[in-house]
Chains A and B, each alone.
Chain A
Amino acid sequence: MESLLRLEKICKSFPGVVANDHVDLEILPGEIHALLGENGAGKTTLMNCVYGVYRPDSGTIYWKGQPVEIHQARDAIALGIGMVHQHFMLVPPLTVAENIILGLPSPREPLLDLKSASQQIRELAERYGLPIEPDVPVWQLPVGVQQRVEILKALYRQAELLILDEPTAVLTPGEVEELFKVLRAFKEKGLSIIFISHKLEEVMSISDRITVMRAGKVVDTLPASRTNPHELARMMVGREVFLQIEKPPCTPGEVVLELENVRARSDRDLPALKGVSFQVRAGEILGIAGVDGNGQTELAEVIAGLRRVTDGRIRVLGRDITHCTPKEIIDMGVAFVPPDRQHMGLLMDFTVSENLIGKSFDRPPFSKYGFLQKQAIENFCAGAIYRCDIRTPHAHVPVKLLSGGNQQKVVLARELSLQPRLLIAAQPTRGLDVGATEYIHRQMVEARSAGTAILLISTELDEVLSLSDRIAVMYEGEIMGIVPAEEADLQQIGLWMAGSRAHQAAETPQTV
């Protein structure tokens, strides 16, 4: 059978990152093809190349056997490619119909023809089994229905290939079932679907063929009927080497952080933490692995007092901090390197020195009777800049002018200067080069030796594996299991990350 879409040796790199490395991919007419891989495996970049958001550095795209050049989204749409992004591209105050015809020429230019558009949308919705009310403003619709609007948008433009980027990430289990029914109906009608996901079970249940990507490369393409979750998990995370970090043996002390059945909701008001329990002791690093968006950010925010806990208890050194303010929690000795240094960890328009005192500016010796003490601040900052090797012309440069690595050093220097009992490090090396990463890791190991309890939250599995004393995996707001690092089994962790508990019954999740 002739392929609908064929990619040949697609390469795309960004400064410092090779996102796609000679990727070959073939999509047949009327198949559901899953793209499976961890964060940063290059799935979304590849699809953005197909959709014209990026131009590949090299390689060829064939559409129905013909080589094509796709310069922008409009070209892709003209060919018959539709993409539903993870973050919807809808205009909330406009109605469903208005959103769907947005960008298309009207049959009655310069006037709109909403009536006939609504009619067409109704017919289309009926034909594909996607019930929708075209005259309702989009903001009133639940997320699952908004996704339906996005799909209809692509169908209305006569898409033959539908790319869905992590479509189930925002859906409830019921909505996922609905979506799968619709996708199967599409397949019956001859449409092809590319389904980007990292969830093994979903991929197994919906796809005809599965392509696994890792670190920008295609590992393999297999029919779903001839593989199993274990094999896929191994292909997803399988590694030959991972970086080793020298660290002294772990000598855990008293329990510093204790979570008991903690629940919280996400910004979208969906359950983000569904009864999380674990402990972290002084002098140990507990690493939390997992694919991005499984509740890790919410977990860190809940401990730092930045997100409301709906149920359960959080204790630091035995004291209940469940409903304490961020300030009270900082004063308890909890330091937090947030996942997003640009929007949370740093005041980008403030200077390096103002950021370094960001959490202690109102304590002596930096403040006396409410006045900032210039000399004490200067001395402290000069010391911190020297000790942490922060590369900056001087302490009074706005921190936004520093490189990402140096910005992160500012965050870490500030957090460690608080001499914390607990350090929450969320994505501490995201986007950093090797040198800065190594520095951050060394600092964390040193803090651990000094008796700090460390909660490391990272989507970089290598980082979790090489730093942690114990490893936990989070999936959809739950801890799938916790194992000591030396007993960690890659395949088991891969399965947990992809949401599958089915493995050796012997390795039941331990609680401490």
Chain B
Amino acid sequence: MLSTQEVTNRWQIVYRRFLERSFNILIPLGAILAAFLISSTLIIARGANPLTAYAALFAGAFGSTNALANTITRMVPIIMTGLAVTYGYRSGFFNIGAEGQLFMGAMATTWMGITLVGWPAWLLIPASLLAGALAGSLWALIPGYLKARRGFNEVLTTLLLNYITIQLFEFLIRVDHVVGPGATFLSWIGLKDPSQPFPKSAYIAEAARMPSLTSVITWLGGTTEDPALQRFTLAAVIAVLAAVVMYILLFKTTTGYRARAVGVNPRAAQYMGINVMRTTITTALISGALAGMAGSLEIMGFQHRVIQNFLVGAGYDGIPVALIGQLNPLGVLLSALFFGALRAGANRMQIVSGAPVSIIYVIQSLAILFAIAGTVIDLRPRRLKQAEIEEAKRVEAELAAESPSAPAADMLGEEVRHV
């Protein structure tokens, strides 16, 4: 039997943990709410009614199967890039290169779909997805290796690789894709549809496309008239699954433990026996694979071919998605929903209420700002805060007694202020 005291203690612990955890959800929700509230002043300034505008925005994002399909289509790539950024960030690899890795993934998947035309779906779908993931992770291996072995700043290397990727992409969609007799290596890797004068690829084989709700209904013997159902595809299911898998990987496995330890403090991680170099490279591979799959899912699920500018910006959008999602894979799902819905509903908002589409970028940016600011708010029990303050004092005293560097830093501040 537990004593009353023990039961109370136990409940206090559960309650406290609940508070601490729910706080992680409250920050992004509060940030999004605040963003909507403040943006409404802009809408009013334009002479429109914010309530009408937001209702239209909501209807445009969730009001019909077509609206929902739009939202989901926009969500899938940014879920994947958001996960790529989250996993990288958590382990100290700030991957700005999701954009480039996404394009590599899209190219590899498209190549599979226009080359291995005879393959059955059960083989071609996983193979195409895998090719995309592989292309993305090999592309991320370059900055990963350079960071781990040579100490290169990954922000720079991943960013610069994006430009290289875009140029490579622009080049390959202008090279005729020819296989069989007469093919050179260049024409073999080229992506352009030779029968068309435009810089775009042929459609990928039916067997390489993600099955949709329509095909499921047909397979079950039913019929449907709604064309929007064709856009509810397996790609969305895979993206949601990926978030769950990444959550487990990050928080429930030794691989995730290593990654987070290196992200928090590489020196302490090394001291604990973790191989920091290997962890950095593993992280780059995983992050790159996720970004590559973003490209694959877009091609296999929705566009079915690559064209110029087919998905520009989704890689960069992964960064705010990850930040609003509090760098938590499940949070990424929610913030990707927010981003996807905003974009899907924007046009309807403009048509119905007259509030311009660009309002959604204001909302989006404000939400990012508030989400970052929110992490500074401290709602923890007062006793814990007190402990932290006392510890800070103790550390200060310790430093004062043993090393002049801390006060010296103060002093430099003093001098610089008087410049």
A60 contacts partner chain B, Cβ-Cβ < 8 Å = no
- Nearest-neighbor residue (CB-CB) of B415 within chain A: A103
- Bound state CA distance, A354 and B275, in angstroms? 18
**Bound CA span A396–B419, Å:** 46
The answer to whether A39 and B402 touch across the interface, beta carbons within 8 angstroms, is yes
Query: Which residues of chain B have C-beta atoms less than 8 A from A394's C-beta?
Result: 13, 16-17
> Residue B268 at the A interface, CB < 8 A?
yes
Q: How far is the CB of B147 from chain A (nearest CB, A)?
A: 19
Pick from B159-167, B183-191, B221-229, B250-258 the stretch touching chain A: B250-258
Report which of A42, A87, A336, A342 forms a contact with B271, defined as CB distance below 8 A.
A336
A15 within 8 A of B: yes
**What is the 8 Å Cβ interface bit string for chain B, positions 252-286, against chain A (1 contact, 0 not)?**
11110100110011011111111100000000000
Residue of B nearest to A103 (CB): B415
Report whether B411 and A326 are in contact in the complex, using a CB–CB cutoff of 8 Å: no
Query: Are the CB atoms of B255 and A370 closer together than 8 Å?
Result: yes
Pair B253/A371 contact, Cβ less than 8 Å: yes
Complex formed: what's the CA distance from A401 to B381 in Å?
Answer: 11
On chain B, the residues within 8 Å of A25 by CB distance are: none
Which residues of A are found within 8 Å of B377, using beta-carbon distances?
A: none
- Docked Cα-Cα span, A229 to B56, in Å, equals 87
Please, which residue of chain B has its CB at the minimum distance from the CB of A88? B408
Secondary structure of the A contact surface, majority rule: loop
What's the nearest-Cβ distance from chain B to residue A84, in Å? 10
Q: How many residues of B contact A (CB 8 A)?
A: 51
Contact A326 B407 (CB under 8 A): no
CB atoms of B252 and A342 under 8 A apart = no
- Chain B residue numbers with a CB within 8 Å of A358 are 261, 272
With the chains together, A331 CA to B273 CA distance in Å? 9
* B398 contacts the other chain (CB 8 A): yes
Report yes or no: A45 in contact with B415, Cβ–Cβ below 8 A.
no
Kindly state the separation between the CA atoms of A306 and B254 in the bound complex, as whole angstroms: 22
Residues of A with C-beta under 8 A to B415: 73-74, 89, 102-103
Among the stretches B134-142, B343-351, B386-394, the one at the interface with A is: B386-394
Contact across chains for A347 and B400 when beta carbons are under 8 A apart? no
Which of A46-54, A175-183, A237-245, A253-261 lies at the interface with chain B? Answer: A46-54
B394–A403 contact, CB under 8 A?
yes
A414 nearest CB neighbor, chain B only: B272
Interface assignment of A434: CB less than 8 Å from any CB of chain B: no
One digit per residue, 1 when the CB lies within 8 angstroms of any chain A CB and 0 when it does not, for chain B 389-419 equals: 0110111111011111101101110111011
Q: B384 an interface residue at 8 Å Cβ cutoff?
A: yes
Nearest CB of A to B315, in Å: 27
- B395 to chain A: which residues have CB within 8 Å? 342, 404, 431
Kindly provide the distance from the CB of A326 to the nearest chain B CB, expressed in whole angstroms: 5
Is the CB–CB distance between A16 and B394 below 8 Å?
yes
Query: If A372-B252, A372-B254, A402-B387 touch, does A17 touch B271 (CB 8 Å cutoff)?
Result: no
**Residues from chain A with Cβ under 8 Å of B265 in the complex:** 343-344, 347-349
- Would you give 27 A-B contacts (Cβ < 8 Å), ordered by A? A15-B396, A17-B401, A40-B402, A42-B401, A44-B403, A54-B400, A73-B415, A74-B418, A85-B411, A87-B408, A325-B275, A343-B265, A343-B268, A345-B271, A350-B264, A367-B254, A370-B254, A371-B252, A372-B253, A372-B257, A393-B383, A401-B391, A403-B387, A403-B390, A403-B394, A404-B398, A431-B394
| B interface residues (Cβ-Cβ under 8 A, vs A) | 13, 16-17, 252-255, 257, 260-261, 264-265, 267-275, 380-381, 383-384, 387-388, 390-391, 393-398, 400-405, 407-408, 410-412, 414-416, 418-419
Sample of 7 more A-B contacts, CB < 8 Å, known A19-B401, A74-B418, A343-B268: A17-B400, A40-B402, A42-B401, A372-B257, A394-B16, A401-B391, A403-B394
Q: Give A residues with C-beta under 8 Å from B.
A: 14-17, 19, 39-40, 42, 44-45, 48, 51-54, 72-74, 85-87, 89, 102-103, 165, 292, 304, 306, 325-327, 330-331, 336, 338, 342-350, 354, 358-359, 361-362, 367, 370-372, 374, 393-394, 396-397, 400-404, 430-431
